[in-house]
Amino acid sequence: MLTDVAPQRLPQSLMVSADFPSFRRQETVLACLNLILQISLFLAQLYWPQYLGRPHLPTLAVLGTGVATNLIELFWLGRREELSAAAATRLTWTMIVVNIAVAFGLASFSYKQDVQYFTLMLPPILQAAFRLSLAATILTVAISDSLIFFWVWSYARAHAPADPNEFIEAGTVALIYAVTGLLVWTLVNHLRHKQAELAFSLSELERTQSRLKAEERLAAVGRFSSAIAHEIRNPVAMISSALATASNYGFGAAESQEMYAIATKEAGRLERLTTDFLVYARPRVPAKMRSDLGESIGYIAEICRPRAGGKDVDVVCEYPEGLWAEVDSGQLQQALLNLAMNAIEASNPGARVQLRGRRAGNQVLIDVDNGNGPIAPSVAACVFEPFFTTRPSGTGLGLAIARNIVIAHGGELALTHNDAETIRFTVSLPIGINDEGGAP
């Protein structure tokens, strides 16, 4: 079935209408064209009867049938949400036959030497040329031209002697209709082939993109594995070395205790690294609830102050009241803690780290600033990569974990300011269901 939600391809005979919405738009244009011509020709005959003749009751009946049929089609199409390919083909042929019959009926009941209603043969020819195959277009043109010649021949028999100019005029009209139909079909067929080529090119592009993504994933896995091996190797080597030294060299209690302390410290480092790696590799789905982000900002500022005080760094926070959004407070606090601690570690004594919350349209923005900058461009390009760090004691997963958490919330984490005065990381989060940002 052809739907507005998931359009399907129509058969090749319906060349331009690739889906039902397109078919409906095209059919609406053609039906409106028929209506405009029918009503215009009728009004012309009504207001200029001295030139075109006064319309008779049968003429009005046939014209009313044509107008009603096209209006019914417009109304029916407007109420449809889907249409099968076979039904679309049947509808196309039905309207071609009806409009040709209406044109011939109007010409027959107008029965005079020059009949303007044969103009109504043109929309069905355009409809066939625009949508159907070459054979169907030739058939429609042949039927229309045959009816025109039949009408001229019938009129000539009833009004002998026959005027050759009438046959010449009919032949000219027939030739115009044939050229119009074939020209439109050729142009539309060319368009169809171009569409097919574009679709093929798009398909090839998507396949190439998929291959590149797969290769990039494999390359990322390789880099990730190498980084893990490198990070784990160092503490494991230190643990092995410390234990081997303590057991093989007959150290006294103090020296052995020192070796064991080194092993314990490296084991703790290895545990932290493993924990961070698992958090990064298997992030939890956020359990979102309506939360005041100002409370989370204030809480992170409070728990960071002891660490900041040890480095003589001031931590301040700023946020408006009722900074509501749909978030997992625990995960967001973890992301903000990583950002704040990263800013504190990067700050010089006497510096200030600022956490600031604000609204921007349908988003909440949280800025984490520190003043020890700028970050070198080569470093800034890698700050969110896992295991990338410039600190000897860092795991290189803090910013990567924070970014994963923010992305899982449908937001974004970016380095938005980087100069000698300010380094700023900005968390942008969607407000959620309540776009006014008020309390639930």
- Of the ranges 47-61, 225-239, 253-267, 351-365, the best mean pLDDT one: 351-365
DSSP secondary structure string, 89-126?
A: HHHHHHHHHHHHHHHHHHHHHH-SSS-GGGGGGHHHHH
Domain assignment present for 438:
no
Domain boundary pick from 282, 315, 343: 282
Domain assignment present for 98:
yes
d(CA 269, CA 3): 57
d(CA 62, CA 89): 25
* pLDDT tens readout for residues 212-246: 877 776 676 666 666 666 667 667 777 777 777 76
* pLDDT tens readout for residues 192-203: 888 888 988 998
What pLDDT, on a 0 to 100 scale, did the predictor assign at position 369? 93
Other CB atoms within a 10 A radius of the CB of residue 234 amount to: 13
Task: Report whether pLDDT(373) > 80.
Answer: no
One-letter identity of residue 226: S
Helix (H, G, I), strand (E, B) or coil at 243: helix
Closest CA to 267 of 239, 240, 227, 234: 239
d(CA 283, CA 301): 24
Domain assignment present for 395:
yes
d(CA 255, CA 263): 13
Residues contacting 419, CB < 8 A, separation 6+: 373, 374
One-letter identity of residue 69: T
Residues 257, 307, single domain; the answer is no
Residues 256, 344, single domain; the answer is no
* pLDDT tens readout for residues 282-308: 677 888 999 999 999 999 999 999 889
Residues 91, 194, single domain; the answer is yes
Domain assignment present for 44:
yes
Residues 277, 307, single domain; the answer is no
Q: How many residues does the chain have?
A: 440
Strand 314-318, strand 352-360: pairing: parallel
Average pLDDT value for residue range 105-125? 77
Give me the torsion for CA of 331, 424, 368, 376, rounded to 10°: 70
Domain boundary pick from 282, 298, 316: 282
Residues 419, 303, single domain; the answer is yes
Owning domain of residue 170 = 1-282
Domain assignment present for 247:
yes
Residues 14 and 132 sit within 8 Å (Cβ to Cβ): yes
CA atoms lying within 13 Å on the CB side of residue 24: 18
One-letter identity of residue 37: L
d(CA 311, CA 319): 25
Residues 174, 301, single domain; the answer is no
Residues 207, 102, single domain; the answer is yes
Task: Report whether pLDDT(15) > 50.
Answer: no
* pLDDT tens readout for residues 130-186: 888 889 999 999 999 898 888 888 877 777 776 777 788 888 888 998 999 999 999
Average pLDDT over the chain reads 81
Residues 299, 248, single domain; the answer is no
One-letter identity of residue 419: D
Closest CA to 35 of 78, 68, 75, 77: 68
d(CA 112, CA 230): 97
Strand 363-370, strand 423-430: pairing: antiparallel
Beta strand residue intervals within 170-299, DSSP E: 289-292
Residues 177, 299, single domain; the answer is no
DSSP bridge pairs for 366? 357, 427
Domain boundary pick from 255, 282, 309: 282
* pLDDT tens readout for residues 16-38: 455 788 888 888 888 898 889 88
Residues 168, 183, single domain; the answer is yes
Give residue for tokens 């049929």.
Answer: 69
> Of all residues in the chain, what percent are helix, strand and coil, respectively (each to 5)?
65, 10, 25
* Number of domains composing the chain: 2
Residues 311, 187, single domain; the answer is no
d(CA 396, CA 391): 8
Task: Report whether pLDDT(375) > 60.
Answer: yes
Domain assignment present for 436:
no
Handedness of CA 159, 164, 166, 167 (dihedral sign): positive
Give me the torsion for CA of 141, 144, 148, 150, rounded to 10°: 110
Residues 7 and 1 sit within 8 Å (Cβ to Cβ): no
Burial class (CB in 10 A: 0-12, 13-18, 19+), 366: buried
* CATH number of the structural domain spanning residue 334: 3.30.565.10
Domain assignment present for 263:
yes
What pLDDT, on a 0 to 100 scale, did the predictor assign at position 438? 46
d(CA 371, CA 347): 7
Domain assignment present for 249:
yes
d(CA 197, CA 86): 25
Residues 215, 238, single domain; the answer is yes
